[in-house]
Amino acid sequence: MERDCVHVAGWIVGVALTGAALMLGGCGQHALRRLANLPGEHRLVGGGLMISWKAPEPGTVFLVEKKTGKLIETRSLEEGDVYSFAVESIVRAEELQDMLGVNFSRTEFLLYFEPDRERLAESARMTE
């Protein structure tokens, strides 16, 4: 009987430790995996609460919240187009906080860019 109690207690401790490890390490890794699942050859080009970035070539930008890995916005750009993002009001900050489920003071926005090689090649052919 005492041996069964020790076995059950060991099992409970093992489950608790596994759950704690998943909560502490798993969530962050899951978000990073979601970031890694952006399509193509994306590269980090900006970040912060105020972003203004000029596209060097045709492509797509992806605005991502780092801690959650949530995709906030995607937009196709032509060469020279400027992408702008700013959290300029408390209302906007609260909307983002509700959408992300994270305290706004802990958010970190990242801007990724994926060049569109086909559109670039097509533009080059048209100018020839």
The Cβ of residue 95 has, within 10 Å, a number of other Cβ atoms equal to 13
Which residues have a Cβ under 8 Å from the Cβ of 76 and sit 6 or more positions away? 58, 59, 60, 116
What are the distances in angstroms from CA 65 to CA 43, 78, 85, 122?
A: 15, 24, 13, 32
**pLDDT score for 119:** 67
**pLDDT score for 41:** 65
> What amino acid is encoded at 128 in this protein?
E
H or E element at residue 11: helix 2-21
Low-confidence ranges of the chain (pLDDT < 70): 1-41, 119-125, 128
**pLDDT score for 20:** 36
The Cβ of residue 11 has, within 10 Å, a number of other Cβ atoms equal to 10
Cα 33 to Cα 2: distance, rounded to the nearest angstrom = 44
**pLDDT score for 125:** 66
What are the distances in angstroms from CA 40 to CA 36, 55, 67, 71, 110?
A: 10, 17, 21, 15, 17
**pLDDT score for 59:** 95
Structure-token pair, residue 2:
């005492």
